[in-house]
Amino acid sequence: MSKFLIVGLGNIGEEYAGTRHNIGFDIVDRLAKDLEGKFKSDRLADVAEVKYKGKQLILVKPTTYMNLSGKAVNYWMQAEKISIENTLVIVDELALPFGKIRLGPKGSDGGHNGLKNIQETLNTTNYPRLRFGISHEFSKGHQVNYVLGKWSDEEKKTLDDRIKIATDAIRAFAFIGLERAMNDYNKK
C-alpha cells in the first residue's frame, strides 16, 4: 500500500485557531474528519492515519510552531519511511487570491517561515506543496496582523467550499499523482 505524508502548517494554541496562517491545520482537520481519522498527540506533531482508495495517508499537524516545521516534517518522513515525492505540505499563500489553490512540485519559500525552515531542514526546495490563497488585503506594515488575523465574514461565506476543494486536491495527489492533480485542481 502506497503511503503519503500530508503536512498542514499552522501554529498550535487557541489564539491561532481560525486564523489565515492556520489554513494548513484546517485543511488536514477537514480531511481527517471526512475520512474518519482521529488526531493523537505524538512526537513533534498531532498525527492521524487514514486510508483513501488503497492509499495510506499520514496526516500531520506540527506542534513545533510554524518556524520549526521542518523538524516535524523530517521526523515523520523518516519515521514512516515516506519519500519526498509522497510528501505534501499545505500552506497559506499571500500571493494567491482568497481560496485559490496551487499544487506544485517545488518552489521558493516566498518569505514563508514554515517553508523556509522545511527547505533548510530537508536541504531542498523540491517537495510537493499545496498553497491556499489568503490574498493580501492589508495596508503597508500590517502583514503580520493580517496573516495571524481571523477570516473576514465575507471570506467565511465560501471558506468551507474552498477547503473542500483543497481536500479533494489532496486525495487526487495521492490517488492519481501530482501532475494530473495539478491539471485538475489548479484551475478551480
Predicted local confidence at residue 86, as pLDDT: 97
Among 21, 112, 136, 142, the active-site one is 21
Report the relative pairing of strands 40-42 and 45-52 from DSSP bridges. antiparallel
Instruction: Quote the CA–CA distance of 117 and 72 in Å, as a whole number.
Output: 10
Instruction: Compute the average pLDDT of residues 6-13.
Output: 96
- Predicted structure pTM score: 0.96
Instruction: Quote the CA–CA distance of 188 and 175 in Å, as a whole number.
Output: 18
Predicted local confidence at residue 143, as pLDDT: 86
Task: Decide if pLDDT at 133 tops 80.
Answer: yes
Is 21 labeled as catalytic in the residue annotation?
yes
Domain count, the chain: 1
Instruction: Compute the average pLDDT of residues 180-186.
Output: 96
- The residue segments making up the domain with residue 66 are 3-185
CATH code (residue 47): 3.40.50.1470
Predicted local confidence at residue 65, as pLDDT: 86
Predicted local confidence at residue 188, as pLDDT: 81
Give the tens place of pLDDT for each residue, 86-106. Answer: 999 999 999 999 999 999 999
Are 147 and 111 spatial neighbours (Cβ–Cβ below 8 Å)? Answer: no
